[in-house]
Structure 1
């Protein structure tokens, strides 16, 4: 079984109104949330073999917070994940290396739309539809390779938001 860890970046800072969106860092709450999610991933054995991360600063800082409490995985920072929609995210996933677990870290509204389209069953958790900051879904696929993943092919293994871990 293949596993996708699908995550939205943690809470970002709006302290500098002139800052480009792509360059916004995490705020204090966001840094804490990234570490909480990393600890949850480690405790539950949801550790990626590879990470595909949007090139935005806030996604990179979210991944750094996770790695600070788990372990590093080969990471690719992808401009195409910055505000990507479901079709673009599926293309990135289908091109992923031949590993068991991929982490994809992106942005709303693409992350929730992608998750909902991947799941064979409608999500029972309203959080997946809203996908708050640092929300993380683990989705399983019974496929031989990532190139075979399609819509409605995934099974929700777990879903968590940082508030539930505090």
Structure 2
């Protein structure tokens, strides 16, 4: 059994004139939310063996907030997680699927699209929460019986969906 943790980056401030979207930093509520999700991950035993993080500043800062409260395993950065679609995310996950658990820190709409696509079954309350959208600092916890290298649409089980307001 393998676990996939999909985490949308925390809330970022607006881009200042002359600043690329890629370089937007977290705002104060985003920092607090990232830390809260890190605490919730530790409390629930959600410990990834490997973290794949978008190279965008807000994703890296989200990782920093989480890492200050829980173990994030080995970390790899992928600028492609900023621009790939859900299918691209799934391929990156499969390519790194030799681990028992994997945390992906990325962006919407890719996170929501991927979570909905791979979660064929799951906890009804988690599905209901996810159906209302994938907010910043939202964390989908998805179990795969056949390992992450074989992750595919409809093959996952959505165990939980955490948002900062409920942790």
Q: Structure 1 length normalisation: TM-score?
A: 0.93
> Cα distance, 1:17 vs. partner?
3.6
SS at match of 2:120: coil
2:31 matches 1:28:
no
SS state of the match for residue 90, structure 2? Answer: helix
Tell me what 1:159 maps to: 161
The normalised TM-score by structure 2 is 0.93
1:83, 1:106 within 8 Å by CA — same for their partners in 2? Answer: no
Find the aligned partners of 1:45 and 1:95 in 2 and give their Cα distance: 25
SS at match of 1:52: strand
Rounded Cα–Cα distance in structure 2 between residues aligned with 1:138 and 1:55: 22
Structure 1 residue runs of 5 or longer lacking an equivalent are none
Structure 2 unmatched ranges of 5 or more: none
Q: Counterparts in 2 of 1:72-151, with a 5 A limit?
A: 72-121=72-121, 124-128=127-131, 130-143=133-146, 145-151=147-153
- Deviation by residue 1:46-84 (Cα, 9 ceiling, x = unmatched): 011100001100000000100001124210110111032
**What root-mean-square deviation, in Å, do the aligned CA atoms of Structure 1 and Structure 2 show?**
1.5
Task: Verify the 8 A CA contact 2:4 2:148 in the aligned structure 1.
Answer: no
Q: How many residues align?
A: 164
Q: What is the SS of the residue equivalent to 1:133?
A: coil
- Kindly provide the CA deviation profile for residues 85-140 of structure 1, in whole angstroms up to 9, marking residues without a partner as x: 11100100001152111000100101000000001138632435510100001000
Q: Runs of 4+ in structure 1 displaced over 2 angstroms?
A: 121-124, 126-129
**Secondary structure class of the residue paired with 2:77:** strand
Which moved further from structure 2: 79-88 or 62-71?
Answer: 79-88
- Bigger drift between 64-73 and 29-38 goes to 64-73
